[in-house]
């Protein structure tokens, strides 16, 4: 067998699919950061408008944080058998 008959197969990747994945991750990161940090800045206003204490209004941040802490270890375990490209 000579060198000319051996060809290295390169995997074909869709440029459009790659950009779609980057866009999806970017939007998800923006949504996550916005939903986590936005309430901190408006917490006093929320408490004033709802006539509740700032501590009670802080539950707006606490409850999603607890849900994220519960979901974070469960999600990878539940999708480990799926193809990573489709999970994204």
Residue 29 to residue 6: CA distance in whole angstroms: 43
Positive or negative, the CA dihedral 63, 64, 69, 75 is: positive
Residues contacting residue 74 through CB under 8 Å, at least 6 positions apart: none
pLDDT at 26: 94
- Taking the complete model, does pTM exceed 0.75, yes or no? no
Written as six digits, the tokens of 38 are: 């936005």
Confidence of residue 3 (pLDDT cuts 50, 70, 90): low
Mean pLDDT of 80-85: 82
Mean pLDDT of 37-52: 91
């Amino acid at each position: 067998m000579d060198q000319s008959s051996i060809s290295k197969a390169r995997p074909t990747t869709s440029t459009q699919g790659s950009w779609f994945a980057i866009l999806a991750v970017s939007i998800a990161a923006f949504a996550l950061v916005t939903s986590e940090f936005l309430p901190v800045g408006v917490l006093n206003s929320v408490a004033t408008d709802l006539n509740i204490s700032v501590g009670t209004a802080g539950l707006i941040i606490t409850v999603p944080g607890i849900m994220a802490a519960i979901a974070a270890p469960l999600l990878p375990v539940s999708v480990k058998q799926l193809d990573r490209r489709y999970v994204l």
